Structure 1
Amino acid sequence: MPINRSPPSQQLQLLTTPSSIPHCTSEPNLSSQTDIEQPNVTLRQKHSRSLFATKRRYLTKMPLQIRRNQCTSFLRDNLLTLLTVIGVLSGTLLGWGLRASGIEWSRRDVMYFQYPGELFLRMLKCLIVPLLVSSIVSAIGSLDLSLSGKVGLRAIIYYMTTTICAVMLGIALVTTIKPGNDPEAYAQPNITKKLITKDTLTSDTLLDLIRNVFPENIAQATIASYRTRLVYDQNDTKAIKGHLETYKIEGNYQSGSNVLGLVCFSIVLGITLGKMGEQSRPLQDFFHALSEAMMIITGWVIWLSPLGVFFLITAKIMEIDSFAELVGRLGLYFMTVLLGLFIHGFGTLSILFILATKKLPCRYIAKMGQVMATAFGTASSSATMPITIGCCDEMGLDPRITRFVIPIGATINMDGTALYEAVAAIFIAQLRKVDMSFGKIIAVSVTATAASIGAAGIPQAGLVTMVMVLDTVNLPAEDVSIILAVDWLLDRFRTTINVVCDALGAIIVTSLSQGDIEKTRALHNDRELAAAHELTELEKGEH
């Protein structure tokens, strides 16, 4: 019998062709086959099975190697994110373990636990001012003037839209769920309230917001913000105790960078350098180099984020007085805010993203793990700003747009804060049985939006802006103490939503501006070709 020396693939093809396999219209009758045919069929089946088995082993071996390479690549690319998430979970477990140990931890003990995390937070905050100024100046200076105007307008429209959507969502949830309809649960005698005194009016806070946009000293704006205080003067015959309108008006500076003023100054400086052309090239190169240097330093600092977040979370959980009591009193309010943040972060923002880019946001959000973990650990969108810019750079976005849009978003875009303040104000009104008419709800909406936009420019932003919203519905300032017990945890969730909104905004603005960027690039190339042609003609004329 001749031996078939054709390749196995051809043998497999021959064995699987219709001519090589008997055609059966019904079940085969094995009893009617001869003794010679049965061994041939058996050998053919065995040979066919061995070929199929060989090919199957070959095909299953390749995907296994590919999967191994993919897993290795995934771990290498997301190692820092995984370590940061592990830091958050480990800090949470250690915090609960230390609380359950039965040992009474003093404030100094908590400070010792928090100390490494505090150092990490100080490193990040140290980068905010130089990175913010250099990023905005270099980004606007390198963009065409008309393009920078369009990019800025699109960013502001996006941030205002998301903030208004967040406020409306928060009001809809709190008026539907009504978490404050059981005031007895919150009127327990063992609840201690911190005395919160009000030393300013809502109008003064709004005026301070505008004052801080135009700082009188740019160097002072890096370390302090202006704030109006109302002081009772006993020697003033016109002053009536308890009536703030009659108090003496004093203006002073409080520690904390005036971020709004720095952003405004940086935008104006960037536009000016862009109009100056080649004369401003040395200064533009300086700010560009400074921005790149800050990003390199950020790349070094963020490798400390797993440890920093670990100690920050551990210390914060150790500070909780009674988690069971906290959940029992404020559980429904807490879940209302959390539900609103979740719907806004993964519902509203996703819909806006799909409408603007015609793409699903899942792939981009999956790459923001490091940003979200750091935001949750630090509870500061400004401190997370360098990491947000780095994340957008890794996603391949235009660095000129990200360095322009992200600092503005970290300053004025506080969707989570706006939603939280709207829910908190109406929740406290429900506790106090204050009738919330449609006009008051509109007032809360406008005030919460304005307060969230100006939060970065106001010292002690969380307390001041919350008092400002409460004043809109004539609620006492000391009622803020009712919700302070869960504010530390909600602050971390709303900060996470804020930074996700900033990053998605950078992607949306980049997508919407892609056509303008191409037109500007083509126009710039045409100008360079025209200049080169003119230079060539001049050289020919000289010869």
Structure 2
Amino acid sequence: MSELETYQITGEYQSGSNVLGLVCFSIVLGITLGKMGDKSRPLQDFFHALSEAMMIITGWVIWLSPLGVFFLVTAKIMEIDSFKELVGRLGLYFMTVLLGLFLHGFGTLSILFILATKKLPCRYIAKMGQVMATAFGTASSSATMPITIGCCDDMGLDPRITRFVIPIGATINMDGTALYEAVAAIFIAQLRKVEMSFGKIIAVSVTATAASIGAAGIPQAGLVTMVMVLDTVNLPAEDVSIILAVDWLLDRFRTTINVVCDALGAIIVTSLSQGDIDKTRAANNERDGRSDAPSHELTEIEKGDH
């Protein structure tokens, strides 16, 4: 076999935090604590207290962030050799993210919806005008959640499904954020002339997906988890300031995609669970229709149901 047909599999170690390893360990630790039951209560209380403390610190940081962002952006502008070239690259980055969100929102999600429900998503998306407008205006999945639930109720979805799927989706379903973080990391690497191998691109994609799950449903929360993605390819965290100029607008587009995906997910779950819903509804109607049963017997049935 010639040298051209021989694959050279090599590896290397780089300095920096093993963010992907930390994310995987956190997932395994969470599953373990769930299996331990009451024995894990002290450790859970510790993490709850730590979370509350970090939220207070985050509040302080938010109050100081306008001043900090001003100096970060100013420092980056002073380092720019060609401002025109940077603006041109930011424009291409902006259009790349929008194209990715468009293909995901109206391509991938639509295909999955059609395969699961055997229906076209157009008429459902058309009824989500208020949801998309609220998501675009607030840039927050959590703030849009009541509107999303109300829209799903108006479409006739089972309330038990919407009240379960939508809150979970608003918390962990950040597919638009994951796409944006991966593209942003590759864009910054290109600006810094850092070579991105296939392995690094896979690592960035996996880290962006895992980090987006932990992102809060508040405006521009992706910038916080963006630091983890940049650390995966050993890029400085302050490079986040490069994309701050357009992030406020991109945040609104990716939030819109997130909430539309939440609503479509609730419709898919309803469609797949329709058989069980009909059986439960029929059983409830049959139980409620037993008018010949004594009052104390109905009470016992109700107690058994609860």
The answer (yes or no) to whether the contact 1:466–1:480 under 8 Å persists in 2 is yes
Cα separation, 2, equivalents of 1:244 and 1:314: 49
Matches within 5 A, 1:37-436: 327-436=87-196
The answer (yes or no) to whether the contact 1:312–1:378 under 8 Å persists in 2 is no
Unmatched tracts of structure 2, length 5 or more: none
- Cα offsets for 1:404-423 (capped at 9, x unmatched): 11111111111110000000
The answer (yes or no) to whether the contact 1:298–1:386 under 8 Å persists in 2 is no
The answer (yes or no) to whether the contact 2:207–2:228 under 8 Å persists in 1 is yes
- Cα offsets for 1:185-208 (capped at 9, x unmatched): xxxxxxxxxxxxxxxxxxxxxxxx
Q: CA deviation at 1:430?
A: 1.6
Q: How many residues align?
A: 301
The answer (yes or no) to whether the contact 2:72–2:241 under 8 Å persists in 1 is no
The answer (yes or no) to whether the contact 2:171–2:213 under 8 Å persists in 1 is yes
Identify if the C-alpha distance between structure 1 residues 413 and 255 changes in structure 2 by more than 3 Å, giving closer, same or farther.
farther
SS of 1:440 mapped into structure 2: helix
Of 279-288 and 387-396, deviating more is 279-288
Identity among equivalent pairs (%): 93
Correspondence 1:535 to 2:295:
no
Identify if the C-alpha distance between structure 1 residues 516 and 281 changes in structure 2 by more than 3 Å, giving closer, same or farther.
farther
Cα separation, 1, equivalents of 2:236 and 2:167: 34
Identify if the C-alpha distance between structure 1 residues 454 and 303 changes in structure 2 by more than 3 Å, giving closer, same or farther.
closer
Cα separation, 2, equivalents of 1:244 and 1:458: 51
Q: CA deviation at 1:438?
A: 2.1
Identify if the C-alpha distance between structure 1 residues 520 and 306 changes in structure 2 by more than 3 Å, giving closer, same or farther.
farther
The answer (yes or no) to whether the contact 1:309–1:378 under 8 Å persists in 2 is no
Query: What stretches of structure 1 move > 6 A for 4+ residues in a row?
Result: 242-326, 457-460, 530-543
Q: CA deviation at 1:453?
A: 0.6
SS of 2:300 mapped into structure 1: helix
The answer (yes or no) to whether the contact 1:422–1:445 under 8 Å persists in 2 is yes
Counterpart of 1:484 in structure 2 is 244
Of 272-281 and 392-401, deviating more is 272-281
Q: CA deviation at 1:501?
A: 0.5
Identify if the C-alpha distance between structure 1 residues 471 and 422 changes in structure 2 by more than 3 Å, giving closer, same or farther.
same
Cα separation, 2, equivalents of 1:483 and 1:541: 58
Identify if the C-alpha distance between structure 1 residues 540 and 425 changes in structure 2 by more than 3 Å, giving closer, same or farther.
closer
Q: CA deviation at 1:463?
A: 2.6
Identify if the C-alpha distance between structure 1 residues 324 and 538 changes in structure 2 by more than 3 Å, giving closer, same or farther.
closer
Q: CA deviation at 1:526?
A: 5.7
- Cα offsets for 1:63-97 (capped at 9, x unmatched): xxxxxxxxxxxxxxxxxxxxxxxxxxxxxxxxxxx
Q: CA deviation at 1:288?
A: 27
Identify if the C-alpha distance between structure 1 residues 442 and 303 changes in structure 2 by more than 3 Å, giving closer, same or farther.
closer
Identify if the C-alpha distance between structure 1 residues 450 and 276 changes in structure 2 by more than 3 Å, giving closer, same or farther.
closer
What value does the CA root-mean-square deviation take over the aligned residues?
10.8
Cα separation, 2, equivalents of 1:318 and 1:463: 22
Cα separation, 2, equivalents of 1:499 and 1:541: 38
TM-score, normalisation: structure 1: 0.38
Identify if the C-alpha distance between structure 1 residues 265 and 459 changes in structure 2 by more than 3 Å, giving closer, same or farther.
farther
TM-score, normalisation: structure 2: 0.66
- Cα offsets for 1:359-405 (capped at 9, x unmatched): 00110111111111111111111111111111111111111211111
Identify if the C-alpha distance between structure 1 residues 268 and 478 changes in structure 2 by more than 3 Å, giving closer, same or farther.
closer
- Cα offsets for 1:450-475 (capped at 9, x unmatched): 11111028997323200000001111
More helix per residue: 1 or 2?
Answer: 2
Cα separation, 2, equivalents of 1:491 and 1:312: 19
Identify if the C-alpha distance between structure 1 residues 243 and 472 changes in structure 2 by more than 3 Å, giving closer, same or farther.
farther
- Cα offsets for 1:100-141 (capped at 9, x unmatched): xxxxxxxxxxxxxxxxxxxxxxxxxxxxxxxxxxxxxxxxxx
Of 312-321 and 365-374, deviating more is 312-321
Q: CA deviation at 1:323?
A: 12
Cα separation, 2, equivalents of 1:310 and 1:364: 42
Q: CA deviation at 1:432?
A: 1.7
SS of 1:255 mapped into structure 2: coil
Identify if the C-alpha distance between structure 1 residues 321 and 289 changes in structure 2 by more than 3 Å, giving closer, same or farther.
same
The answer (yes or no) to whether the contact 1:467–1:477 under 8 Å persists in 2 is yes
- Cα offsets for 1:411-447 (capped at 9, x unmatched): 1111110000000111111222222222212211111
Cα separation, 1, equivalents of 2:210 and 2:128: 28
The answer (yes or no) to whether the contact 2:204–2:229 under 8 Å persists in 1 is yes
The answer (yes or no) to whether the contact 2:20–2:207 under 8 Å persists in 1 is no
Identify if the C-alpha distance between structure 1 residues 428 and 477 changes in structure 2 by more than 3 Å, giving closer, same or farther.
same
Cα separation, 1, equivalents of 2:297 and 2:28: 33
Unmatched tracts of structure 1, length 5 or more: 1-241
Identify if the C-alpha distance between structure 1 residues 376 and 306 changes in structure 2 by more than 3 Å, giving closer, same or farther.
farther
The answer (yes or no) to whether the contact 2:76–2:242 under 8 Å persists in 1 is no
SS of 1:451 mapped into structure 2: helix
Counterpart of 2:260 in structure 1 is 500
Identify if the C-alpha distance between structure 1 residues 297 and 513 changes in structure 2 by more than 3 Å, giving closer, same or farther.
farther
Cα separation, 2, equivalents of 1:268 and 1:531: 52
